[in-house]
Amino acid sequence: MNLGFIGLGNMGNPMAVNLIKAGHKVTVHDLRRESGTNLLEMGADWADTPKDTVPGNEVVFTSLPGPREVDAVVLGEDGVLQGAGKGSIYVDLSTNSPNAIRRVHQICAEKGVAVMDAPVSGGVTGAAAGTLALMVGGDQAVFDRIRPALGAMGSHVVYCGAIGAGMIVKLCNNLVSMGNGVLLAEALTLGVKAGVDLAVLSDVMSNSSGASYRLTNSFCNSLFKGNTAPGFATALAAKDVRLATDLGRELGVPMDLSNLVDQRHVEALFRGWGAFDSVVVAYLQEEKAGVQLRIPGL
């Protein structure tokens, strides 16, 4: 397929790499041309504006930080919609607000442009390996048409329902993941302060009912090593948690624990940790408990 791809950051770049490796012809755009150097070396074409990613391409993807950036890239001056026409397909891989993507869908539909939401999960490692989970919302016939491209980026591609359904599933998933991180930090600092070796505690929990992806992947690969390089940045985690709690308020769903998780992420942002991996939220618990969760030699 001929594809456009906008947003070549930590997630977008490796996803675009996998599209090229799968044999798709890709046109790329980012605010920083140097972000696409490796892709251009692989044979990708460069577009000077989001609008320029559309001509000659069957689908245009975006991988962007959030709703504001998506609106600007799709609906703004020299945006995707200005270059699109009847039959064009736009797919948002970002984690966005369900209402925001529905609004984009409605505006684009007036011009005959199909919009799909397809947020991803699996972090930078999954993006590089092509093993992401993709949660897709929109018209099922369009989903069937673009599935070969989606399959090049992820190994678990799921049609979730009408437009916005993918975003809802992703927000629920990330809310649980970030909530697990906060609870894990409390449980682990408790165990360590009570005298148990962290490596032992982590090993047992990873192979018992307390196991979670947050423990066996994020904490073991980042927190326990003291590694704060962003696999999933705190600013993005905070944004996702807030989108989820906002949705809860909109729908009248009680979310007592989720709002506590939200505030913990707000505190981490206030500390200036937004660019660090989201595991740094556990540092707040470490400070309060007087315990550091590190495993030497891991």
Q: Catalytic residue positions?
A: 170
258 and 244 in contact (C-beta within 8 Å)?
Answer: yes
198 and 295 in contact (C-beta within 8 Å)?
Answer: yes
Tokens 């590190």 belong to: 294
Q: Which of 142, 64, 74, 60 is nearest to 106 (CA)?
A: 74
142 and 168 in contact (C-beta within 8 Å)?
Answer: no
Q: Which of 224, 225, 176 is nearest to 201 (CA)?
A: 224
**What is residue 214's DSSP assignment?**
I
Give the separation between CA 240 and CA 95, rounded to whole angstroms: 7
In degrees rounded to 5, what are phi and psi of residue 24? -80, 150
60 and 92 in contact (C-beta within 8 Å)?
Answer: no
